[in-house]
Structure formats: C-alpha cells, structure tokens
Structure 1
Amino acid sequence: MSALHDLSATELVAAYARRELSPVEVAQAVLAHIDHWEPHLGATWAMDPDGALAMARASEARWRRGEPAGSVDGVPTMLKENIATQGVPVPLGTAAIELVPAAADAPPAARLREAGAVFLGKTTMPDYGMLSSGLSSFHRLARNPWDLRLNPGGSSSGAGAGAAAGYGPLHLGTDIGGSVRLPASWCGIFTLKPSLGRIPIYPPYAGRVAGPMTRSVEDAALMMGVLSQPDDRDATRLPHDPTIAWTDLDRLDLKGLRLGLQLDAGWGMRVDPEVRDAVVAAARRFEAEGAIVEPLAPFMTREMADGMDRFWRMRSWLDISALPMARQQKVLPYIRQWVASGARLSAAEVFHGHSQMAAMRDAAVASTQRFDFVLSPTAPNVAFPAEWASPINDPERPFEHIAFTLPYNMSEQPAASINGGFTAAGLPIGLQIAGHRHDDLGVLRLARAWEQLRGPQRAWPQPPG
C-alpha cells in the first residue's frame, strides 16, 4: 500500500469500510507529513491537530458502527482560509483584517463537516484573493513543491501547493478569475471551477465559486457530491439535482465529440511554446480516439480585459480606502499600487468596465456553443519566481496571465484544469477543459478520459531531506 498521506479519498473510504485503516491513524500520518513539508512550503494557517484528531475519533466510531456520516467520512481535508469555519478568523490573506472568529461555517464547510470530513486546518491565500500568487502580507510566502524557488499560484495558493505535496487528499479553494485553476496548473493537480451556483457559497457575487482541488478527477467528483448539496444562504444557487451521478465518470464516448482548441485568447501573455505543444498533443490524443477537433478563434478583447480591470480597481479601492490609514498601510504594496488609480476613475469608466463582464459572458457562450467542450492552456506560462506577485510582477498589468481562465467565470460555465504534461525542466503544464453551463459532470468525464489517456502521473514531490 502507498504511504497513508498519498492515498486518495476513494481509497481511504474503501479501506475504512473494510476496517483496514482507521481515520485516526490516517489523520496522524497526514499531520506528520505536513510537519515535514511545511517549514519549506508555507501552505497552511490555523492548523488544528487536536480538533482534527477529535473529528477523526468520531469518524472512527461511526465506521465501527457501520454508520458513516457521508461519502468523505474520515478523509483529511483542508479549506482555503476565506471559507469560514465556525470559531476560526478569516484574515483574507491580508494583515489589514481584524481577526474575528467566524460565527458559522460557510456552506461548503458545512456540507463537508456534515459528511464527516476531518478538518486539519486552513490553506493560505494572498491579500483579498486578488493575486495569482502565494505572496501575502499576513501569511508566510507559499512555495511550489515541484521547485521551492517558484510560486504555487493563487489565489488558492496553499491549496494548490498542499494538494501536490500530500496535505491530505481533499482541498477546497475559490475562484473568481482563475484562482483554483491557475494553482492547479502550476502545481500539477486537478480542479473544477463549477458552474456558478453549483456549489452554494456565501457571500456570493459575480463569478465567484468554490471548487475541489485534488490529485485526481475521482476525488474531485467525490467532493462534488457533497459540495453541491443545497444551502439557502446562496441566492445564486442552482436547483439541487439529486440525479447527477458525480462519481459515474466513465460514460463519455469520445467518438464524434466536438472539441474546440483555443491556443490564442485574444489578449494577455504569449503562450509559452512548451505549454502550446502540450495542449496540442492532448488535442491530438483525443482526435486519435475519434473526437473532432477544430480551432476556436479568440473571443475576448483587450477592451473587455481592461474594463474589468478598471471595475475591480474601483471595487478594491473602495474596500481598502474605507479602512483606517494604519490598516491600509498593512495591505501588500503591490495591491495598494494596483488599486490607487481607482480613486481617479469616473463613474462612466467604472460602469463601462462593469459592462465588460457581461460582454465576456456573451462572447464566451456564443463562441463555444458549437462545441461540446473547449481545450486550451489553463495559463500561458508555467510557475514563476516565488517572490513575485504575478507572472510579470507589474501592478499596472496584473491580469495578463488569466486570459484563458477569466471568461468562464463571467460566462458561468464549468472549467477544469488537469495536468497536461511537464516542461523539459520538470514543471507541470495545465490543460483547461471548459463545457457548457450546468454540464459540470461532462467536464469531469472528459477530464477523466484525459487522465486515462495521459497515463499515471510522475511521482509527486517529496519534502527536502
């Protein structure tokens, strides 16, 4: 058997049912593994070993009675720190926030707790989740386990790094422009940004979703069965559909499937040649299995990107400028520089910027309609220096790397990132798979098909020494 920290959630649950493993011994093993990694990785916050072991003991008792609470009972789980859990403060990655214990679990945390997940602690994020980086004014610098000199991405920084490093099989992140998919791409894991409303979340707002971050499609599907349960606190939630068989992943016929291949997003960073080659190679593998692959032209424009940038600068400037000056000064300097121009924007500029989110939605839906799914790079690049706030580290051009991920937040379509290969230097390359809105299961099934065509992953990184 593999080391306990390397076992998948599905393997663990099966072993618990056979009484071959105990949730307590698994939690102890994963916590010990985190202790070895964490001085190098900086992926966690608010670790709670005592609380985790208490949850594991309760799970062990349920398994002994043959009465598991749910499909992830006893599975070690980590949550991004902006997903509230009762009694734990929510710093939002920034030293500017006053630390007040959360009054209640957010919907995704509540569903996981009800299903018996063992909460080990929280994972880190950058200030306000506004960076695709592990850089934060509150948390330690998070690093990429494949190369500690490099960045794990963000804003679900610790979740991406922790999943790749074996901090338990189940991680939960959030995404409003690529924040689960970008760290998944750069850390070589799997994630699903679901359709808006598929996973209830609070507070909800345009484009914001929670998503599973795991080493395998199968584990993410297991999480989706839990996370998609209803919660009335989310006014944007989709109607709960109990007929969706989330773990029934092997029922997609690739023959005749219409796949769009997008290699140019229309704006942003140039796609690295190794990234492009990996995505093209994946498309050719699907084509060899009978899929019909056709190019998809860019559907986004620089006007859309810049408009959204102006809107978010204003929104963030309003939030930060409302803080007392002493707390404003604690915000990461890169973020302060980015939002500063928000003070000079006119109402017309902000309104036009907001309207570009709808323009993205309309363009994405219209352009992808004729395909069953769309393949693209998740990010145009691979992991960048750990100390940088973004791949080009320029607050005046903060979003050049999210051109492939952003439109699917605005269009509310599901989009996954799965490892598509490695560079010559051994860095992961993300393949993005996007589908029609509400077809989250279809995206999972195509990702599972790629997982099988791709073959086994190379060995996961291990802690130094």
Structure 2
Amino acid sequence: MNMHELSAAELLTRYADGSLSPVEVTQAVIQHIEAREPTLHALYAFDPDKALAQARASEARWRRGEALPLDGVPLTLKENIASAGTPVPLGTAATLLQPATEDAPPAARMREDGAVLLGKTTMPDYGMLSSSLSSFHPLTRNPWDTSKTPGGSSAGAGAAAAAGYGPMHLGTDIGGSVRLPAGWCGVFGLKPSLGRIPIKPPYAGRVAGPMTRTVQDAALMMRTLSRPDWRDTMSLPPQAIDWLDLQRDVRGLRVGLLMDAGWGLPVEPETAAAVQAAARLFEQAGARVEPMQAFSTRAMIDGLDRFWRVRSWLDIEALPAERRTKVLPYIRAWTAGGATIGAAELFHGHAQMAALRDAAVAACQPFDFVLSPVSPVPAFAAELASPLNDPERPFEHIAFTLPYNMSEQPAATINCGYTAAGLPIGLQVIGHRFDDLGVLQVCAAFEQMRPAQRAWPG
C-alpha cells in the first residue's frame, strides 16, 4: 500500500515502531496531491513547505519519545474553519481576504495534538450548496467520476478523502454538508451532536465533523476534537468518552429503517436497493429492523427555507454593491426571496425549525438507531448547484440529512454500495442525541458486515 493510502491508525503504529517517519509520509502525500490536484481542485492554501516544517518538528518529537496523540498524521481543514495566518474566503469572491488572527477551536485542537496541516479544502459560496460550485474556488470534482460533483458544502474534504490526500479531513455540516459529500465520495463522515466539537462561530445546526476512509480514524479525530473550548457558547460539557472503544454487538438492537422522508426527491432505485441490502445485513447480525414512518413535512421545510433566505439575504444585502455582484448567481437568486418576507412569516418559519426538531426526536425515540439513505440520488453533474439546479427548490435532495441538524442528533454516513455506473451510495446511521459513540460503534460494526469495497479512485 502506498504511504498516502495508510490510515491514521496505521501511520501512528508505523511511527511508533520506526518503520515510517512523518517527513517521508508528508512528502509522499504532497507528491500524490501534486499529481491529482490539477484535475480534482480539492484544496485551497495548499502549503507543502509549511507542512514539511511541521513534519520535521513531529519527527523530532517521535525521536525524543515525546510524541503527541496525532503526531505527524496529515490533515486538511475545510476553509471556513479558521487557521491562523490564512484568509477565510467562505467559498465566495465577495469576501475581503484577510489572514485569520487565530485558530478556530477544531484547528487549535488538531494542531495541539501534532497533526500536519497540508492546507484547507474548498467549499461553495457561504457553504450554501450541496455541490462544489463556487465564485472563488475552481470547480472541485469527484475522484470516482470527474464529471460529477463531490457534493458540498464540504466539497474539497470529500474529494480529498476519497483521493487519498492523507487520512484525516474535517468538514462542517448544517444540513448535510459532511454527510452528503462523504456519501457521494464513498468515505465515512460523522455529523456529531451539536456542541460535541467546539466550533467558532456556533449557531443553530452547525457542527464540524471528521471525514475519513475508516471509522477508526474518525474516532481518533473525535478524541482530539471533542476537548472543550470556551469560545463555543453552545458546546457540550466535557465528557469522559472512550472514543476508541468501537466494539458493539448489534444483536437485539431495535433499528428503524426510513425510506420515505415525507418530502423531497424520491429515492432512486439503486440507492433504495443498496440501503435495504444494508438493513438486511443488520437483520442477519441479529438486529430487529422495523419500517419507520416519515415525520418531516413540506410545511416544516418551507418555513425553514423562508427563515434561512431572510438570514442570508440580510448578510448579502449588507455587502457593498461591487462585492454583492460577485456572489454566485444561484445564491443571489435564492436569497432574493428573503426581501419580501415579513416579520410574521419569518417568525412562523423559525417556529417550523423547532417543529422539525420535535418531530425528529419523537420519531427516533422508539429505536436504538435509525438507518436511511444519505441522499435520494447519487452524485450529479459537477457544474450544477444542486440535482434540480433550481434556486426555488434548493432543498429537495437533503430531506434525509437536514432533520438531524435541527434535532442536534448524531448522524453518520458510511458507504453501502455502488450504482451501475460505479458511484458510491451512502447509508446514514442516526443515533439519539449525545450518543455519538454509539453511532461510531454501529458504523464500525457495519464496516465489518458489508461486502468488500472497491479500490479507491485516488
């Protein structure tokens, strides 16, 4: 196996026994990135010299017997996770580029534990799309089929993980932005409970989450990322969680299977077949799998859409005219609807977010875990903003992911099959609020149950 393909767990073992060094691994990953990046365009602020300097410092710590928990493991961060000295464009040409003055909490934790930051990963304007379309970044492409999108808004992170740009990648998620690209790129992605990973700025539904090729590597990242940081005013209190305890017997678990979200695009047949086959594997392993009824409604989503249109319209309208015109036209068209929404309609829209939260928690309550598709459709054309490419119908493909941002529940995606064209299909695993470890454990169990995976594309 090539060095750029090794997992974080394997690298730490090899560093400890001296059979590999952080410097030679970082050099190998940089070489691989330089070969693939002209096609994939997954990175922003890629800095090989800084990465090698970090790797040399890591190598010295290993030699002194002072290695840190993730020392020398290559890492990328989504560009909206601030790292000191690097501008944060937020995916849009409308942003004035100024170096960040400090590391955001996730960047700080990973740096404290010795990870080697290769660079940042791309995203669409303001993270508002489930594709890689951006007015600032080049178009990021899916390594499995470069005519397709990797998804978004953690677009570059999904592509980088699938292509082997090292083992550890960190995205953010407010409606599916970790799970959708992870699902469409065939990698593992965890959207943790709100507040589990401190982040800045925090707001309703927003989380950071690991995107890796293995569940174990995500667990290693969670061990670091879940440490407290006072700057996140919505963060959870510290908890003694053994993140690396991934053993879980699924026998006797009551598992819900949600195949109808209640709204949005219908689940296409290949996706439905792959998710149902995954559910049968759980049954064969002794879990009780039961159909789950749809719980979210069009009224909930229309209300949420109105609220976020107004919020985003206010942000964009506040920009000077010359910067406002640089925002992606699709985003401008979507936010324009916020200009005519009155206070009462806005209030009722916000109330629908709470209604969706209550409905999701109630629907999941009878089950230990819930399974569903991540997306009703596989990866679509890279040049499109969304599967429908219609700013008046922007959310039709996120009906299975969005509810768990509002309900603050942990939800992960793990590959469960491929389309006839060879595109990955994601299985979503949802747990009760705060049971992030349980979700990791169930995904680790499925990792052992599922058929052999195809060779990685990168």
On whether the aligned pair clears a TM of 0.5, the verdict is yes
| Cα distance, 1:268 vs structure 2 | 0.3
Range moving further from structure 2, 446-455 or 114-123: 446-455
Counterparts of 1:161-172 in structure 2, within 5 Å, are 161-172=159-170
Residue number among 300, 306, 311 corresponding to 2:302 in the alignment: 306
* Structure 2 CA distance for aligned equivalents of residues 90 and 379 of structure 1: 29
Instruction: In structure 1, give the amino acid aligned to 2:92.
Output: T
- 1:90 corresponds in structure 2 to 88
Counterparts of 1:147-186 in structure 2, within 5 Å, are 147-186=145-184
- 1:331 corresponds in structure 2 to 327
Instruction: Summarize the Cα distance change of 1:68–1:455 in structure 2 as closer, same or farther, 3 Å threshold.
Output: farther
Counterparts of 1:392-403 in structure 2, within 5 Å, are 392-403=388-399
* Structure 2 CA distance for aligned equivalents of residues 34 and 48 of structure 1: 11
- 2:7 corresponds in structure 1 to 8
Instruction: In structure 2, give the amino acid aligned to 1:68.
Output: A
- 2:244 corresponds in structure 1 to 247
| Cα distance, 1:190 vs structure 2 | 0.2
Instruction: In structure 2, give the amino acid aligned to 1:279.
Output: V
* Structure 2 CA distance for aligned equivalents of residues 363 and 125 of structure 1: 30
| Cα distance, 1:456 vs structure 2 | 3.4
* Structure 1 CA distance for aligned equivalents of residues 254 and 366 of structure 2: 8
RMSD: 0.6
Gaps of 5+ in 2: none
- 2:344 corresponds in structure 1 to 348
C-alpha distance after superposition, 1:160-198 (max 9, x if no partner): 000000011000000000000000110000010000010
Residue number among 423, 426, 431 corresponding to 1:430 in the alignment: 426
Counterparts of 1:153-232 in structure 2, within 5 Å, are 153-232=151-230
- 1:65 corresponds in structure 2 to 64
1:384 aligns with 2:380: yes
| Cα distance, 1:89 vs structure 2 | 0.4
Instruction: In structure 2, give the amino acid aligned to 1:54.
Output: A
- 1:144 corresponds in structure 2 to 142
* Structure 1 CA distance for aligned equivalents of residues 299 and 452 of structure 2: 41
Count of matched residue positions in the alignment of Structure 1 and Structure 2: 458
**What percent of counterpart residues are identical?**
71
* Structure 2 CA distance for aligned equivalents of residues 111 and 356 of structure 1: 35
* Structure 1 CA distance for aligned equivalents of residues 32 and 53 of structure 2: 19
Instruction: In structure 2, give the amino acid aligned to 1:90.
Output: V
TM-score w.r.t. the length of structure 2 is 0.99
Instruction: In structure 2, give the amino acid aligned to 1:245.
Output: D
Range moving further from structure 2, 277-286 or 449-458: 449-458
* Structure 1 CA distance for aligned equivalents of residues 162 and 217 of structure 2: 14
* Structure 2 CA distance for aligned equivalents of residues 422 and 135 of structure 1: 24
C-alpha distance after superposition, 1:220-274 (max 9, x if no partner): 00000000001010111111112x1111101x12111000000000000010100
| Cα distance, 1:455 vs structure 2 | 3.8
Range moving further from structure 2, 179-188 or 453-462: 453-462
TM-score w.r.t. the length of structure 1 is 0.98
* Structure 2 CA distance for aligned equivalents of residues 18 and 426 of structure 1: 38
The answer (yes or no) to whether the contact 2:130–2:151 under 8 Å persists in 1 is yes
The answer (yes or no) to whether the contact 2:157–2:170 under 8 Å persists in 1 is yes
Gaps of 5+ in 1: none
- 1:288 corresponds in structure 2 to 284
* Structure 1 CA distance for aligned equivalents of residues 95 and 55 of structure 2: 31
* Structure 2 CA distance for aligned equivalents of residues 222 and 368 of structure 1: 27
C-alpha distance after superposition, 1:279-333 (max 9, x if no partner): 1100011001110000100000000111111111000000000000000000000
- 1:41 corresponds in structure 2 to 40
1:369 aligns with 2:365: yes
1:52 aligns with 2:48: no
* Structure 2 CA distance for aligned equivalents of residues 268 and 325 of structure 1: 34
Instruction: In structure 1, give the amino acid aligned to 2:96.
Output: E
Instruction: In structure 1, give the amino acid aligned to 2:143.
Output: P
SS in 1 for 2:211: strand
Residue number among 413, 416, 420 corresponding to 2:412 in the alignment: 416
Instruction: In structure 2, give the amino acid aligned to 1:456.
Output: A
SS in 2 for 1:461: coil
- 1:100 corresponds in structure 2 to 98
| Cα distance, 1:457 vs structure 2 | 1.9
| Cα distance, 1:427 vs structure 2 | 0.5
* Structure 2 CA distance for aligned equivalents of residues 10 and 253 of structure 1: 22
* Structure 2 CA distance for aligned equivalents of residues 425 and 82 of structure 1: 33
* Structure 1 CA distance for aligned equivalents of residues 298 and 57 of structure 2: 53
The answer (yes or no) to whether the contact 2:249–2:445 under 8 Å persists in 1 is no
Moved over 3 A (4+): none
* Structure 2 CA distance for aligned equivalents of residues 323 and 238 of structure 1: 34
1:23 aligns with 2:19: no
Instruction: In structure 1, give the amino acid aligned to 2:139.
Output: L
| Cα distance, 1:127 vs structure 2 | 0.1
* Structure 2 CA distance for aligned equivalents of residues 446 and 65 of structure 1: 38
Instruction: In structure 2, give the amino acid aligned to 1:4.
Output: M
- 2:129 corresponds in structure 1 to 131
| Cα distance, 1:397 vs structure 2 | 0.3
C-alpha distance after superposition, 1:89-139 (max 9, x if no partner): 000000000001101000000000000000000000000000000110000
SS in 2 for 1:304: helix
* Structure 2 CA distance for aligned equivalents of residues 73 and 359 of structure 1: 44
Instruction: In structure 2, give the amino acid aligned to 1:248.
Output: D
* Structure 2 CA distance for aligned equivalents of residues 455 and 404 of structure 1: 24
SS in 1 for 2:237: coil
* Structure 1 CA distance for aligned equivalents of residues 398 and 350 of structure 2: 17
Instruction: In structure 2, give the amino acid aligned to 1:31.
Output: I
Instruction: In structure 2, give the amino acid aligned to 1:20.
Output: S
* Structure 1 CA distance for aligned equivalents of residues 420 and 451 of structure 2: 18
* Structure 1 CA distance for aligned equivalents of residues 200 and 453 of structure 2: 35
